[in-house]
Amino acid sequence: MQPATSTIERWHPTTVALLPMVLALITAVVAVLGFVVWSTGNIDQRAAERQTTMISHVVEGRLSRIVRETASVAINDETLRKTSAAFDSNWIETNVGEWLYRYFRHDQTILLSAQGAPVYAMVDGAAVDVSTVRDMLAGLESLITEARALRPGQRPPPAPLDAPAGLEGQPPILPPRPPPPSVTDFAIIDGKPAIVAALPVIGERAALRPQPGTEPIILAVQFLDGRAASQINREFLFDDGRFTLVESSNPNRLVYPILSASGRFVAFFEWNRDRPGYVMLLQTGPLLVGAFLLAGILIFLLLGQLRRSAAAVENARRLSLHQASHDALTGLDNRMSFDAKLAEAAADKHNANAHLTLFMLDLDRFKQVNDTLGHQAGDELICTVGDRLRAIFGTGTMIARLGGDEFAVLAITHDKPVDVMEVSARIIESIGRPFTLSRFKAHVGVSIGIVMARGRDAEPTELVRRADIALYEAKAGGRNRAAVYEEHMNELLQLQHTIEAELREALCRDDQLSIVFQPLIDQVSRKVIGAEALARWYHPKFGQISPARFIPVAESTGLIETLGEFVLRRACLLGATVPGRTIAVNISPTQLRNPQFSHQVFDILHETGMRPLDLELEITESILLDDEHVSSQNLRTFRAAGIHIALDDFGTGYSSLSYLKRYPVDRIKIDRSFVSQLTDGHVSVAITDAIVKLAHAMELQVTAEGVETEEQATILGSLGCNTLQGFLFSGGMVADRITDIFAAPENAMVSRQQRRTAMRASTAVRAQPDQSL
């Protein structure tokens, strides 16, 4: 079951790693954009404020300017004379009206008499009847009254409009002068906004000056019209500035309201606001956007590249993780992963009541497939075994290849324990089916060790150890079978470990291992025609140890090679001294599978001088089952050299007579389990009879082993057995003794008396029936 993962965990690790970077970038972009927008807005705001301040100064400046311009004629002795005592309208027209119109573009100039009546009026550069301006004057009454109320004091003459340059181009240093007496204001005249100035005409000399309040007054009017606006635009660089009476709703235009001194609205000056920030943004914006886009594309590409690299790294990590935990050949879990998963399963509290069943599998005869058909075939076979196991257990069960031809399966069930026998039978059947490899067909078997435990009791190392013990037991029990772990197996294993260590020691010395020879009796003549060599081990502490116990240990540990060579050499040493007598030697499958074995046999024969004809090698049926190329090759080599081959323990194994056809043997030895039952009923007799007949039909000699009674010997004789062997005649005896028997003519036939003695010996000391003859 997959553990629940949080959203963050499910995200691609690269995304998680890159997220802060992307967020930082977005924040940076937003900050830059924000700053740009803020600063351009700020710049525009400042510019607007500056322009508004400027227009206020400009408009105020207009007022002082009109005063200055008008003062150029109002503060003049001649003007005073010609407008009062020596009134001269022509002179006024030329020097006041036209002057102010031509030089300063005053739109209207009106001269008021000392009594306040208009005495001269010029509109747009042309003298007009004073009656036409009466209405207009009515609107300016307060302004005129204010001007009349002015009390100009002693004052210096006005500066010429074009002031003389100072010394050496320096500006002239003039004393500060008070402004000319005047009243100015903004007003609406004839429905149009205008600036108005009223200046009393005063002479330059105070002596000429009329009585205050009786001066003629010059009224100057300049409309705030398109011309005035253009002039402002030109001089102060306003864009499309104009005077209007209605406020513009265009947000791009700024508006400055012009109010009269009394607070009356007169006009707006509006212009296209100067937006240096905006202009800058327009100019740099595309560049900025381009830069952002470029940066974005670069970052996108970089992220893509990073993602790909990170994905590649992640894939490599997953692959190496998979490789580290899986077997490359089968794709199954490997030993490391098996150990980890087993530990995990045992520790999982959900499994406390679950049934854990561990199957340890070891292929039988796999090594031969590998050695004879090659590693490629071996690999193919292992792969197919993996597939077959998957087919049996499905994907939910943990199947591991622990190495070589070893597999492990961990089944966890919660309701009831696994039917191990049924499952084992399926495994054995499945693995037992022939393997069709690319170039060959092969057969292997499988031994299974099983251990079962409840989750809460499961200790991984102990489970594996027990499953291994059960597997060992299954193999020792004849392979291609399953064994469920039982406690006594453990003890047995301990014993086997002890035996192995002691046997190793014994093989290095010459005082514990020995050979005895059990006579082979010709059934008809009852003559000793040969003997079978049997290994004996006398241990100083444990006493006599049965070959039935130490031979299997020697086989499973490989010690059989040394032990077998020892027995063969001793047997051949004897055989060399008794030519014409058959000396039989038991050969284990391990020895026969060794391609060097035939050389070893011939070397020993050569060394000892024994005739190959006198040597008989006893093999067991399991060798025939091996389907082993080397074994059969060895057998053929031996037969070709005249060495005889006997098939031992016939009837206990698969007993397939068809094997006999394929393998070259000279003799079969009917197992003593048949012989012992001969007197119990006629079934065994019938079987033995069939075996003997068949063997004879195939021109094979038949030996009956384990003959303990005369009755058995008689029956076997009647059935046509060629040779007899058993305690009835003798157990094993030392080399000197059998040599004596071979030499003595009276031993040609074993006496009845001797037979009886042997019988007594065999029943009294069944475990140690040697030396009875």
Query: Does residue 535 belong to the site contacting ligand C2E (CB under 6 A)?
Result: yes
Among candidates 742, 720, 734, 718, which has minimal Cα distance to 771? 734
Q: Which of 473, 627, 628, 649 binds ligand C2E (CB under 6 A)?
A: 649
> Which residues from 669-708 bind ligand C2E, rule CB under 6 A?
672, 705-708
Distance CA 723, CA 704 (A): 6
Q: Which of 215, 468, 502, 618 binds Ca ion (CB under 5 A)?
A: 618
Query: Does residue 712 belong to the site contacting ligand C2E (CB under 6 A)?
Result: no
> Which residues from 536-595 bind ligand C2E, rule CB under 6 A?
546-548, 551, 564, 567, 586-588
Minimum Å gap between C-beta 707 and ligand C2E is: 6
Q: Which of 182, 330, 334, 518 binds ligand C2E (CB under 6 A)?
A: 518
Query: Does residue 648 belong to the site contacting ligand C2E (CB under 6 A)?
Result: yes
SS3 (DSSP) at 371: helix
Minimum Å gap between C-beta 398 and Ca ion is: 43
CB 727 within 8 A of CB 517: no
| Number of neighbouring beta carbons within 10 Å of residue 209 | 19
Which amino acid is residue 667, in one-letter code? R
Query: Does residue 531 belong to the site contacting ligand C2E (CB under 6 A)?
Result: no
CB 434 within 8 A of CB 443: yes
574 binds, among Ca ion, ligand C2E, none (CB under 5 to 8 A by kind): none
Distance CA 156, CA 135 (A): 36
Name which of 327 and 705 has its Cβ closer to Ca ion: 705
CB 427 within 8 A of CB 448: yes
Minimum Å gap between C-beta 493 and ligand C2E is: 20
424 binds, among ligand C2E, Ca ion, none (CB under 5 to 8 A by kind): none
Name which of 651 and 706 has its Cβ closer to ligand C2E: 706
Name which of 120 and 550 has its Cβ closer to Ca ion: 550
Query: Does residue 708 belong to the site contacting Ca ion (CB under 5 A)?
Result: no
Query: Does residue 586 belong to the site contacting Ca ion (CB under 5 A)?
Result: yes
Separation in Å, CA 89 to CA 81, 94, 102, 107, 119: 12, 9, 17, 19, 9
Q: What's the chain's Rg over C-alpha atoms?
A: 66
Name which of 437 and 587 has its Cβ closer to Ca ion: 587
Minimum Å gap between C-beta 384 and Ca ion is: 37
Query: Does residue 523 belong to the site contacting ligand C2E (CB under 6 A)?
Result: no
Handedness of CA 81, 86, 92, 94 (dihedral sign): negative
Residues with Cβ within 8 Å of residue 696, at least 6 apart in sequence:
702, 720
SS3 (DSSP) at 29: helix
Query: Does residue 763 belong to the site contacting ligand C2E (CB under 6 A)?
Result: no
Handedness of CA 437, 439, 440, 444 (dihedral sign): negative
356 binds, among Ca ion, ligand C2E, none (CB under 5 to 8 A by kind): none
Name which of 107 and 649 has its Cβ closer to Ca ion: 649
Name which of 618 and 628 has its Cβ closer to ligand C2E: 618
Span from 156-164, 538-546, 611-619, 726-734 in contact with Ca ion (CB under 5 A)? 611-619
Largest CA distance in the chain: 200
Which amino acid is residue 237, in one-letter code? L
Separation in Å, CA 112 to CA 115, 158, 219: 8, 22, 8
Total binding residues for ligand C2E by CB under 6 A?
A: 25
Minimum Å gap between C-beta 320 and ligand C2E is: 48
Minimum Å gap between C-beta 597 and Ca ion is: 17
Query: Does residue 649 belong to the site contacting Ca ion (CB under 5 A)?
Result: yes
Beta bridge partners of 202: 75
Which amino acid is residue 630, in one-letter code? V
Name which of 4 and 548 has its Cβ closer to ligand C2E: 548
Name which of 77 and 565 has its Cβ closer to ligand C2E: 565
Distance CA 357, CA 351 (A): 12
Name which of 423 and 587 has its Cβ closer to ligand C2E: 587
550 binds, among ligand C2E, Ca ion, none (CB under 5 to 8 A by kind): none
DSSP 3-state percent helix, strand, coil across the chain (nearest 5)? 50, 20, 30
Name which of 503 and 567 has its Cβ closer to ligand C2E: 567
Name which of 354 and 623 has its Cβ closer to Ca ion: 623
The two three-digit tokens of residue 467, written as one number: 């499953």
Distance CA 714, CA 678 (A): 10
Span from 124-132, 167-175, 238-246, 726-734 in contact with ligand C2E (CB under 6 A)? 726-734
Residues with Cβ within 8 Å of residue 551, at least 6 apart in sequence:
535, 560, 563, 588
Minimum Å gap between C-beta 721 and Ca ion is: 14
Among candidates 622, 690, 701, 693, which has minimal Cα distance to 667? 701
> Which residues from 175-214 bind ligand C2E, rule CB under 6 A?
none
Separation in Å, CA 768 to CA 502, 506, 564, 587: 20, 20, 21, 22
Minimum Å gap between C-beta 650 and ligand C2E is: 10
Residues with Cβ within 8 Å of residue 560, at least 6 apart in sequence:
551, 554, 588, 590, 591
Q: Which of 648, 721, 730, 735 binds Ca ion (CB under 5 A)?
A: 648
Beta bridge partners of 475: none
Residue with nearest beta carbon to ligand C2E: 726
CA atoms within 13 A on the CB side of 13: 10
> Which residues from 391-420 bind ligand C2E, rule CB under 6 A?
none
Minimum Å gap between C-beta 619 and Ca ion is: 9
Separation in Å, CA 506 to CA 250, 499, 509, 520: 117, 10, 5, 29
Query: Does residue 182 belong to the site contacting Ca ion (CB under 5 A)?
Result: no
Distance CA 55, CA 238 (A): 9
Total binding residues for Ca ion by CB under 5 A?
A: 5
Name which of 241 and 726 has its Cβ closer to ligand C2E: 726
Cα separation of the two ends of the chain: 72
Query: Does residue 726 belong to the site contacting ligand C2E (CB under 6 A)?
Result: yes
x/- string (CB under 6 A) for ligand C2E, residues 454-483? ------------------------------
Distance CA 574, CA 740 (A): 11
Minimum Å gap between C-beta 510 and ligand C2E is: 16
Which residues would be at the binding site for ligand C2E (CB under 6 A)?
Answer: 518, 534-535, 546-548, 551, 564, 567, 586-588, 618, 648-649, 672, 705-708, 726-727, 731-732, 762
Which residues would be at the binding site for Ca ion (CB under 5 A)?
Answer: 586, 618, 648-649, 705
